[in-house]
């Protein structure tokens, strides 16, 4: 597998079967890391594994439900024992349940928080406990620009992402004494399957509405005039887990083309 077990950097990426998570895993693998990919979508994970191995990268597949703390703890133990010490965790896994507050079900709310907030807590707690004695590591959580800007029918998603953002900042404060950095990247509209869930008509018209804004939803457009690509987010993640950002922690980098006007 290239580097020895003691020398290679091991990274966990959740939500790696598609979208931003898949691209993050690809970029970390290209950088030379051993990537442990987590997702509930086994087929998507094994497709990614095949692609990365064909490119000569080191990868291991873990069909993990991050809502299950026992499962999370068991897999993290396995990685530490069989692959090597975890130096990087990227929390990407997320779900979107839309609806006005009056129409959201209990299940909508609970599952949104279970993945977007509690899953981040379970993974970050488990991994950081192992990083602390080694006094090194980097954790990045993928948030959302919706965490800081109200959105129509986004109350569950925006609230869960806001919780994950503040959790990661608090974690970064606690772990700074151990030389462990924790940061957030917050995408806006990005070309993923999740974005397409919001598109109710033809694709080009939907893209135009994202870029130009929707006045009836009190939503501004994107000043840069384009929708982000997953690689835009992945490259920022790669920077934040690298030595080039060795003095950056507790920061939230918004990658939305200016849609939230820098707020």
Instruction: Give the Cβ contact number of residue 137 at 10 Å.
Output: 22
Catalytic hit among 46, 122, 157, 218: 157
Q: What is the DSSP letter of 231?
A: H
What residue ranges in the chain does DSSP mark as E strands?
10-14, 34-38, 59-62, 86-91, 137-142, 180-187, 252-255
Report yes or no: 116 and 95 within 8 Å, Cβ to Cβ.
Answer: yes
- Nearest-angstrom CA–CA distance, 49 and 6: 22
Report yes or no: 249 and 183 within 8 Å, Cβ to Cβ.
Answer: yes
Which residue from 118, 71, 78, 86 is spatially nearest to 10, judged by alpha carbons?
86
Which residue from 146, 169, 173 is spatially nearest to 158, judged by alpha carbons?
146
Q: Catalytic residue at 157?
A: yes
Which tokens is 112 given?
A: 């949104």
Q: Where are the alpha helices (DSSP H) in 55-202?
A: 69-82, 106-113, 119-134, 155-175, 193-196
Q: Which positions are catalytic?
A: 157
């Amino acid at each position: 597998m290239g580097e020895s077990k003691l020398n290679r950097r091991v990274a966990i990426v959740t939500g790696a079967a598609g979208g931003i998570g898949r691209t993050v895993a690809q970029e970390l693998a290209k950088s030379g890391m051993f990537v442990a990919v987590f997702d509930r979508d086994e087929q998507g994970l094994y497709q990614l594994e095949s692609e990365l191995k064909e490119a000569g990268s080191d990868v291991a597949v873990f069909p993990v439900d991050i809502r299950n703390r026992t499962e999370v703890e068991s897999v993290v133990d396995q990685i530490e024992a069989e692959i090597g010490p975890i130096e990087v965790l990227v929390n990407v896994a997320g779900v979107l349940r839309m609806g006005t507050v009056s129409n959201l079900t209990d299940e909508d709310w609970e599952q949104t928080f279970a993945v977007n907030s509690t899953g981040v807590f379970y993974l970050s707690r488990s991994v950081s406990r192992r990083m602390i004695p080694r006094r090194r590591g980097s954790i990045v959580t993928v948030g959302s620009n919706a965490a800081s800007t109200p959105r129509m029918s986004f109350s569950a998603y925006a609230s869960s992402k806001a919780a994950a953002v503040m959790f990661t900042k608090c974690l970064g404060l606690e772990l700074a004494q151990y030389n462990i950095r924790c940061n957030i990247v917050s995408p806006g509209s990005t070309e993923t399957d999740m974005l397409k869930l919001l598109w109710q008509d033809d694709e080009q018209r939907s893209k135009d509405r994202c870029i130009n804004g929707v006045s009836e939803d009190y939503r501004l457009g994107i000043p840069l005039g384009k929708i982000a690509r997953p690689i835009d987010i992945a490259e920022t993640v790669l920077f934040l887990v690298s030595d080039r950002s060795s003095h950056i922690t507790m920061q939230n980098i918004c990658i939305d083309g200016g849609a939230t006007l820098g707020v």
